[in-house]
Chains A and B, each alone.
Chain A
Amino acid sequence: MYAWIFRHLPGPLWVRIILSVLLVAAAVVLLMEYAFPWLSQFNPLTDSTIGITE
C-alpha cells in the first residue's frame, strides 16, 4: 500500500521523499489536533472527579 502510494507520487525521487515526509507530518498533526483530543474524553485516566460520570 505505502509502496503503491510512493510509486504514484509525482516527480523525481527526492521530491517524492519530501512529499511522503509532508504527508506523514500532516497525518500526525491531524491526529494530535483533532483525533486525539476527541478520543481522550473516553480515556478513564482523565477521570479525577468524584461522582461525575462524563
Chain B
Amino acid sequence: MIPIVDAPQRRAPSLDIDCTLATAWLVAFLRDELIERRKTHRAVLGLSGGVDSAVAAYLCARALGPENVTCFRMPYKTSSADSLDDARAVTEALGCGERTIEITAAVDGYLQNEPDADGRRRGNVMARTRMIVLFDQSAKLGALPIGTGNKTERMMGYFTWHADDSPPLNPIGDLFKTQVWALARHLGVPERIVAKAPSADLEANQTDENDLGITYLEADRILSLMLAGYGDEKIAARGFAPSDVALVRAKVESTHWKRHLPTTAMLSSTAINEFYLRPVDF
C-alpha cells in the first residue's frame, strides 16, 4: 500500500495575524500620518471601556508617548459603571491623559423634546454627541481624533454614520474583531477588557453579539470568505449555517452607503471624487 496524505481542508482564510508586525506597522502609520503629515504629536480618542478603543489607545501611546494622548470617557446617565472603570484601567496602565465629560445634559437637552425617540435614535444621538465632544476637544488641544471602529462592525454597518466613523485616522479599521482581541492581548490590554462581552452600552445588558445575531468569531470567518469572493453556497459548504451566512450577507449588502461619503448629484465633468480625483494626502 502506498501511503496517502490528505491535504487539510481549510474552513476559512486564517484570521491569525502576527501581532508584533501589526503593532510595528500601525505605530509607524500613526507616526507618519500624525507627526510627519499633519504636524501634530497629539491624539484624542474616546474610551468606551471596550477593547477597540483600548487597543487604539495603546497604539497611540506607543506611537506618540502617553503624555501626548488624551482619552475621554463620555458617559451618558445610563452608561454602566463597569465601562467607566474599564476605561480608567486603560489610562492608568498607559499613564496617558484622561478626562470625563458627561454627555447626559447635551443629549437630554435635545431628546427632552423628542419623547418618542426609540433606542436606535437615542443611541445615534449619543454617538453623534460624543463626536461633537471629541472634535471640539481635538481643536482645543491641537490634537487629532483617532477612530476606533473595527472591520467587522464597519462591514456589518454596526455603527453610527458620521459618528464612530468620523475621526480622520483609524489604526484598527482593517482588523476584524477577533484580530483586535489578539492584538489587545499582545499589547497587554487588561484581560478583563478583552474577555468581556462587547457592548455598545447604550442600554442595560446589551451585547453586540445579541444585537448582530451572530458571534464575532463566526461573523469574521464568514466575512473573510465573503471578502475573498466566495458566494454564499460555497461559504455554507465550509460548515457555516446558511442562516448565518444570509444574515451576514444582508448586513453587508444593506450598508454599502455607510462606508462612503454622501452621494452627490453629478452635473459636470469636474465633479469632486468622480472626475476631480486627488488622494487624501495630496
A and B: real partners? no
